[in-house]
Structure 1
Amino acid sequence: MNIIDDFDVQILKQLEADGRMPYRTIATMLGVSNTMVHQRIARLIEQGILTGIKPVLDEKKIGYDWGAFTGITLEKDHDSNRIIEELKAIPEVTECYYITGNYTLYIKIVAKNHEHMRRILYDKIDNIPGIAKTDSIIELGCAFKRNLIL
C-alpha cells in the first residue's frame, strides 16, 4: 500500500509547479532538510507514485496544430497487446487507454494538419492488422491538463 503524508504532498505540489526546482529550495520552503526531500522523492519514485520528472510539450507551439481522440474497435480483443505495440511505433499517437463501452482502446493523436491526420489514420492506424474500425473526434483545444490535485 502506498501511503503519502503531508510532506510528500507538499513536495509533489512544488514539483508540479516546477519540476526543475532544486531539492534545497523545496527543503527551505518546507522547513526540512535537503536530505529529507531527496529521500522522500527517491521513495516516491521507488513506490511508483512519482513516475518521472519530464518536460510537458505544447504540441501546437511545435507545429502540431491538429489533435484527435480515436476509439478503436478490434476484431479480437486478445490481439490488444500486439496492436498496442504497433500503436507505440507511431510517434503521433501520444496516449492509449483501455476502456469499456463501444471501443477496446482509446488513443490521442497529434498531427501537423488535416492531411497529416488523414495519413496517420488511413495509412498507419487503419492498416494495423486486427483493427476493425476507428472513430475519431477532432479536438479544438485543451481547456486544461493537469495531474491529480492532492
Structure 2
Amino acid sequence: MGQLDQFDREILIRLEKDGRIAFSTIAASLGISNTMVHQRVAKMTEQGILSGIKPILNEKKIGYDWGSFTGITLEKDHNSARIIEALKLVPEVTECYFITGRYTLFLKIVARDHEHMREILYSKIDLIPGIAKTDSIIELGCAFRRNIAL
C-alpha cells in the first residue's frame, strides 16, 4: 500500500467534512483536474485506504435507543470464521472486532429498547453454535466518534 501524498490527504480531508462534495469542487479548491481527483479516489479505494463514502446514521434518531458493547467467549477460537458469518446475519450487530484478553470477539450492538436487546442477546447471539458466553456493557451515548487525523 502506497503512502499518502499531500493531494491524497487534502482530498480525504474534504471528503470527510462532506462525503457528498463534488469531485469538481475538490479539484477546483486544490487547483488540480477533476480527472486527477477521480483517479486519486479510485486508487485510494483500490488500496483499501478509503473503504467507501456512505452516511453515518445516528441510531438513536431512528429508534435504536439502546446500545451495548458485548464481549464474546467462544468454545473454540478456531470456530471464529463460522461464528463471524453467523453474526453478520444479525442486523443489529453493527461492528465486530478481534481482540486480545478474555474475549475472542467484541461487538457493538444496537437495539430499540431493553426487550429488543434481550431478544438479540438471548434469541439470536446466544443460539449461535460455538458461542460459550456473552458479557455486555450498556452504552449510554457516544461522547464523540471520529476518523484518525490526517
TM tier relative to shorter chain: over 0.9
Task: Give the counterpart letter for 1:120 in structure 2.
Answer: I
Equivalenced residue count is 150
Structure-1 separation of matches of 2:2 and 2:124 = 40
Structure-2 separation of matches of 1:36 and 1:130 = 49
Question: Pairwise mapping of residues 56-67 of structure 1 onto structure 2 (< 5 A)?
Answer: 56-67=56-67
Q: Which residue of 2 aligns with 1:53?
A: 53
Q: Which residue of 2 aligns with 1:83?
A: 83
Q: How big is the shift at 1:2?
A: 2.1
Percent sequence identity over aligned pairs: 73
Q: How big is the shift at 1:29?
A: 1.1
Structure-2 separation of matches of 1:15 and 1:102 = 38
Task: Give the counterpart letter for 2:129 in structure 1.
Answer: P
Question: Pairwise mapping of residues 1-150 of structure 1 onto structure 2 (< 5 A)?
Answer: 1-150=1-150
Question: Aligned with 1:38: secondary structure?
Answer: helix
Structure-2 separation of matches of 1:75 and 1:18 = 44
Structure-1 separation of matches of 2:46 and 2:86 = 29
Q: Which runs of 5+ in 1 are unaligned?
A: none
Q: Which runs of 5+ in 2 are unaligned?
A: none
Question: Aligned with 2:73: secondary structure?
Answer: strand
- What is the TM-score when the length of structure 2 is the normalising length? 0.98
- RMSD value, Cα: 0.7
Structure-1 separation of matches of 2:42 and 2:118 = 43
Q: How big is the shift at 1:31?
A: 1.4
Structure-1 separation of matches of 2:82 and 2:38 = 39
Deviations along 1:11-30, whole A, 9 cap, x unmatched? 00000000110001001111
